[in-house]
Amino acid sequence: MLTRNARKIFNPAHYIRNFSASSTLTQNIACEEIRIPSPWGGEVAGKWWGPRNKRPILGLHGWQDNCGTFDRLVPFLPSNTAFLGVDMPGHGLSSQLPPGMFYHGIDIPIFIRKIVEHFNWSKVSLLAHSLGAMNSFVYTMLFPETVDFLICLDGFPFRNDRTAHPSALAKTINSFLKYDALNASTTEPPSYTFSELEELWHRGSRKSVAKESARYILQRNVTPAKNKPGEFYMTRDLRLKVGALLHWTQEDIFDGCKRITCPFFLSLGKQSQFIQLEDLAFEMLNIIRKNNPNVEYHQVEGTHHLHLNTPENVGDLVRTFIEKYDVVDRSDFDIENKMRIVL
């Protein structure tokens, strides 16, 4: 029986008329499914676009999304760019953490560090969205000398006072125990038609993900139901719904901004919830600019997921930034025996 922990590549083109697979959406950019061994006994899943003999830009997606979120943005990158989008642990097709383990919030910077060490990169280039952007920013605060540029799409770290209260932390622990038990269950979860899932994902994102864009994320987040032909269920780790236990103070974040010395790009969607934090973003940007002249900020038309819904609104800005600051030699990168190509 397929369980909540199942990981199976799902191609909605087999089930949905007139659906173009993501590989056709990347125009002439070669894209391959890859797997990287993980230290917790499973695999990190991802998609590699472009040349395989160059160190790629590393792509980190948002909360409960996966690397399919970059399918429509990649065609806007410079044509000779290598891009590696990965599914973070518990997301998409990547393995989940073992039962009883908590996603603490600092896990993603550790995850980035493990990817860097696995490939033996001296530097890393980061392009990330939402939760991935917040944690890529934190990674750059922690290891500034290892990042050659940072692109944050609708995400930067900020303090959330509500989650630091003891009653909120107690609720978080109880929520974790509930979802940990559900996640370990062998009972098949509720299933839906793919059209219903598109609507659920659209509404669940507060309409940030357009219904017609939801499939790019869902194709890595669902698997066919065993006993209900034509229906599918979600396979991402339910424990991801639980809030983090580790929180930064705003003072620590501001102090960390002083360590962002690489070229930095931040964009916020005009219809995104993050635009409400623009004043805070300005404070952070002003701190960064005191030690770093290579900072760009763009307010862009669109939702929190505009890079997926309307990539043309931000794609040219991202490409221009990369063309300006991608000045290192990436040609000495060798991926031999570092990952497995999924045929």
CATH number of the domain that 38 lies in?
Answer: 3.40.50.1820
Whole domain around residue 254: which residue ranges?
12-342
Q: What's at 285, amino acid-wise? A: L
Q: Is residue 7 assigned to a domain?
A: no
- The per-residue pLDDT for range 116-168, each reduced to its tens digit, is 999 999 999 999 999 999 999 999 999 999 999 999 999 999 876 555 678 88
**Straight-line distance from the first to the last Cα atom of the chain, in angstroms, rounded to the nearest whole number:** 24
Q: Is residue 115 assigned to a domain?
A: yes
CA distance 243 to 52: 37
| Domain count across the chain | 1
SS3 of 324, please?
A: helix
Q: Is residue 5 assigned to a domain?
A: no
- pTM for the full model? 0.91
Q: Is residue 297 assigned to a domain?
A: yes
CA distance 262 to 230: 48
Q: Is residue 3 assigned to a domain?
A: no
- The per-residue pLDDT for range 165-224, each reduced to its tens digit, is 788 888 889 999 999 999 999 899 999 999 999 999 999 999 999 999 999 999 999 999
CA distance 164 to 135: 18
Q: Which of 125, 130, 136, 213 is catalytic?
A: 130
CA distance 131 to 98: 22
Specify whether 130 is catalytic.
yes
